[in-house]
Structure 1
Amino acid sequence: MSTSPAGEGPGDPADQLPDVAPRLRELRRDRRLTLEAAARRAGLSPAHLSRLETGRRQPSLPMLLGLARTYGTTVSDLLGEQPPERDPIVRAGRPEPVAADGWTYHQAGAAGRVMQPLRLDVPYGAQGDLVRVHPGEEWLYVLEGPLRLNLGDTVHLLGPGDSAHFDSLTPHRIAAAGPEGTELLFVHTLLRSSAAELCLGGGGHRR
């Protein structure tokens, strides 16, 4: 009776995976990585990665996770799964607004996109001296009321019709500049990073 190496028997889930070899080759070449460099990042030997790319070996699920991280993608992408179609329309009143730390957040775009648009209601004095620093970019447009925007050591006063676009690694603070509060449109890039959502100066909502 023939035997299979441990973890690669007929009943192993990896045996049921679709052929990922072409996608692995494509991703590595798109990232302009040599076989050696990609293997080192994924914690594999170049020979093992070569066998995966030529279809002579099937990756285990832990290997797929490591390769997805190496190439900056998802396991679903490696397996060729198509994401469901997103509805491009966000109707008024859906979803419900979310209140957090004094601010009210109205979602104005689809979840899971790189760009995350919101409409914000910012009362006067909300969130204290909270300063944010995180990867990405932010854009805002003042709809109503005066806004104070701290960027590094510079303070900007904005009114309705004014806008700002800045690198969010710059320490920044958004606050209403008058007792009537302020309302604004706000767009930020959603980046998955170990440094994301770093807040300086205390707790508060981390967007």
Structure 2
Amino acid sequence: MTQELDVDSTIRQRIRALRQSRGWSLESLATKAKLSVSTLSRIETGSRRIALDQLVPIARALGTTLDVLVATAGEDVVIRPEPVDLPGMTIWKLTNEDAVNGVTVSKIRYDSATAPAPSEARIHQGKEWFTVLSGEVQLKLGERTYHVVAGQAAQFDTLTPHVIWAVNGVAEILSIMDHEGRRAHHGDRPS
């Protein structure tokens, strides 16, 4: 019985943490999960027993899986990122969906031989921070271009048109994006 209560408590905490990391109110998640606000509130506070037919729409609305919601604390904490190859870059996502405050940490390798400086800057909601692990990159923010080398970092509001690319070969960065930045850069934008 104690183990069941621990799992139940973990699920409740994860639902609340994921909802809050996205900046969503109870009303917002309830609407997305097609549940009443009072039902969701009672689930989060422990006043109502959690049912599978409620967890599925909650997980779907949060953009996660049942596995993530019900994973026990003793599970593997090691992240084994799979590379995602895009033209001129490879991305390794280093955080899980339930990362602290909804941020995404990624290692990105840019290759100037396969992708010259992009011609089109992007703009979207969010904040981004990166540090150059090796090589050198150019960061174009609006009309200004910054040269960032290994050991240096940059942070910026992504409402400024921006683009990053490697110069003189291969460069690797460690990037941290908030929830909105992750949605834009990792292709899971709302339709």
Shorter-chain TM-score tier: 0.5 to 0.7
Partner of 1:103: 89
SS at match of 1:196: helix
Displacement of 1:194 after TM fit?
10
TM-score of the aligned structures, taking structure 1 as reference length: 0.52
Q: 1:152 to 1:118 in 2, by over 3 A?
A: same
Give yes or no for the alignment of 1:176 onto 2:176. Answer: no
Measured in 2, the distance between the counterparts of 1:108 and 1:194 equals 13
Give yes or no for the alignment of 1:137 onto 2:124. Answer: no
Give yes or no for the alignment of 1:154 onto 2:141. Answer: no
Question: Do the aligned partners of 2:142 and 2:162 also contact (CA within 8 Å) in 1?
Answer: yes
Partner of 1:196: 183
Number of residues of Structure 1 aligned to a counterpart in Structure 2: 169
Question: Do the aligned partners of 1:149 and 1:157 also contact (CA within 8 Å) in 2?
Answer: yes
Percent of aligned pairs sharing the same letter: 25
Measured in 1, the distance between the counterparts of 2:95 and 2:41 equals 39
Measured in 2, the distance between the counterparts of 1:116 and 1:172 equals 18
Displacement of 1:197 after TM fit?
2.0
- Consecutive unaligned residues of structure 2, counting only runs of 5 or more, are none
Displacement of 1:132 after TM fit?
3.0
SS at match of 1:157: strand
**For each residue in 1:137-187, what CA deviation from the matched residue of structure 2 results, as whole angstroms up to 9, or x when unmatched?**
231326324x3211133222334443212233432101234xx33513222
Measured in 1, the distance between the counterparts of 2:40 and 2:96 equals 34
AA aligned to 1:187 is S
- Consecutive unaligned residues of structure 1, counting only runs of 5 or more, are 1-17, 199-204
Match of 2:155 among 157, 165, 169: 165
- Which protein has the larger Cα radius of gyration, Structure 1 or Structure 2? 1
Measured in 2, the distance between the counterparts of 1:98 and 1:58 equals 36
CA RMSD of aligned residues (A): 4.9
Question: Do the aligned partners of 1:142 and 1:163 also contact (CA within 8 Å) in 2?
Answer: no
Q: 1:39 to 1:110 in 2, by over 3 A?
A: closer
